[in-house]
Amino acid sequence: MIDQKIQDHTKKILKVAAQIDAELSNGESKTVQCPICGNDMLAGKSAFNGHVWAVCKKCGASFMQ
């Protein structure tokens, strides 16, 4: 059974990830708004392989692409 809430969160996080990917160059980082709790989320793009990552300071939501 699929948890609808988790699915919604995943969609929101993927949207933010795409936004970060579009806005940042490799090696850059910025603070964005967490799509889950609305607090500060530190996001960056790896200088090494261009992978996008982010972690929320408040709720701990994170991802790495």
Nearest CA-CA partner of 33 in 58, 7, 11, 51: 58
Q: Is 61 in the site for Zn ion (CB under 5 A)?
A: yes
Closer Cβ to Zn ion, 50 or 57, answer by number: 57
| x-or-dash string of contact with Zn ion, 26-45, rule CB under 5 A | --------x-xx--------
CA–CA separation, 47 and 10 (whole Å): 25
Contact 33, 41 (CB under 8 A): yes
Closer Cβ to Zn ion, 24 or 43, answer by number: 43
Residues that bind Zn ion (CB under 5 A): 34, 36-37, 56, 58-59, 61
